[in-house]
Amino acid sequence: MITGILFFDVMAVLVISTSIGMLVSRNAVYSALFLVLNFASVAVLYVTLGAPFIAMAQVTVYAGAIMILFLFVIMLLGAERLEGESTIRGQRLFGGLLAVILLGELTWMAVFQSGLSPAALTMPASDFAGPTQIGLTLFNTYLLPFEVTSFILLVAIIGAIILTKTDNIGKRIIRPGKD
């Protein structure tokens, strides 16, 4: 029991610190690598929760495919170094302060006031995250969200094309009176 909690604590610290690391790195490649680490540690959490299939999906899809794509883009564009230190004075400090306050408030409410006990939570069935279960849930209960997601991806693709393909816009402005 104790080792389990200790392991979780270590992983949680890792997850949080890698995501902070991603945020504050001024080198985009570092950021991307921190994100890989973050995804991997989340995957480990999935494993400890008894969901190895999701963990594998997390690693292959996010840490694998998507992050490789990110790194490619960053390096092709040569955008490793983020430029521009033109922060409005005190803004970063103020933002940090607000984040800390929000964190404090949430902690106060959720941990000290709510009287939350882990026992109150119901644990899911042990095979809830097996490939079969996920497949069945996805295509029965969550069919509609699944389809909507596919449309969202389609829209994103269209958007990517439109926003990069600029050949025929802005060249033939029709002046009033000539149409």
Partner 1 sequence: MFLSEIFSDPAFSLVPWVVFFPLAGIILNLIFSRRWEEKLTALTACLAAGGSFVISLLLMLALTHHPEGATITLLEWINTGSLQINWAFRVDTLSVTMMLVVSGVGTLIHIYAAGYMHYDVRINGDPSRYSRFFIFFNLFILAMMLLVSADNYLMLFVGWEGVGLCSYLLIGFWFEKGADGIANARAAKKAFLVNRIGDVGLLIALFLMFWNFGSLQFDTVFARAPEVAAATPAVLLAMTLFMLLGVAGKSAQLPLYVWLPDAMAGPTPVSALIHAATMVTAGVYLVARSHTLYSLVPAAQTTVVWLGALTALFAATIAVAQNDIKKVLAYSTISQLGFMVAAVGMGAFTAGLFHLTTHAFFKALLFLAAGSVILGMEDVRKLDETNLSDSFHHSHVDPQDMTLMGGLRRKMPVTFWVYLMGALALAGIAPLAGFFSKDEILAAASQNGLLVFLVLLAAAFLTAFYMGRQLWLVFFGKPRSENAENARENTALIVLPLILLAGLTVLGGLLNFPGSLALEGWLEHTLGKGINGEFNSMVAGISLIVSITGLVTAWFVYSRYSGEIKKLDPLEDMFGAVFIGARNKWYVDELYHAIIVRPLEGLSQQLAQPVDQGLIDGIAVGFGSLTKAIAQSWRSIENGFVRSYALALLLGIVLIFSYLVIR
Partner 2 sequence: MPTVNDFLLILPEVVLLIWALLILLIDLWIPDTKKYYTAVLSAAGLVISAGCAFALLGRTGSAFSNMVVLDGFSSVLSILFLLSGLAAVALAYDYLKRNAAQRGEYYTLLLFSIAGMMLMASANDLIMVFLSLELLSIPLYILAGFFRPRLASEEAALKYFLLGAFSSAILLFGIAWIYGSTGHTDFPGIVASIDGGRANYLLLLIGAGLLLVGFGFKIGVFPFHMWVPDTYQGSPSSIGAFMTVATKAAGFAALLRVFLVLFPAEAPIMAGILWGLSAASMIFGNTVAIAQMNMKRLLAYSSIANAGYILMAFVPYGNPVIAQEAVSSALFYLLAYALTSFGAWAVMIALEPAESDGLLLQDFSGLGRKYPWLGAALLISMLSFIGVPLTMGFWGKFYLFKTAVDGSQIPLVLIGLLTSLVSAYYYLRIVMFAYFKPGEPQIQPGRWASVVAVICAAGIFVLSFIPTPVFQFAAQMIMGMK
Residues near partner 1 (CB under 8 A) are 88, 91, 94-95, 98-99, 101-102, 105-106, 108-109
Closest approach of Cβ 116 to partner 1, in Å? Answer: 16
Residue identified by tokens 């230190």 is 85
At how many degrees (to 10) do helices 131-139 and 143-164 cross?
80
Distance (Å, rounded) from C-alpha 45 to C-alpha 15?
Answer: 9
- Show Cβ contacts of residue 4 under 8 Å, excluding neighbours closer than 6 positions: 48
C-alpha to C-alpha distance for 41 and 12, rounded to whole angstroms:
8
In the complex with partner 2, which residue's Cβ is closer, 132 or 168?
168
What mask of x and - would describe binding to partner 2 in positions 49 to 88, judged by CB under 8 A? ----------------------------------------
Here the tokens at position 61 are 């899809």
Binding site for partner 2 (CB under 8 A): 106, 109-110, 113-116, 120-122, 140-145, 148-149, 151-152, 154-156, 158-159, 162-163, 166, 168-177, 179
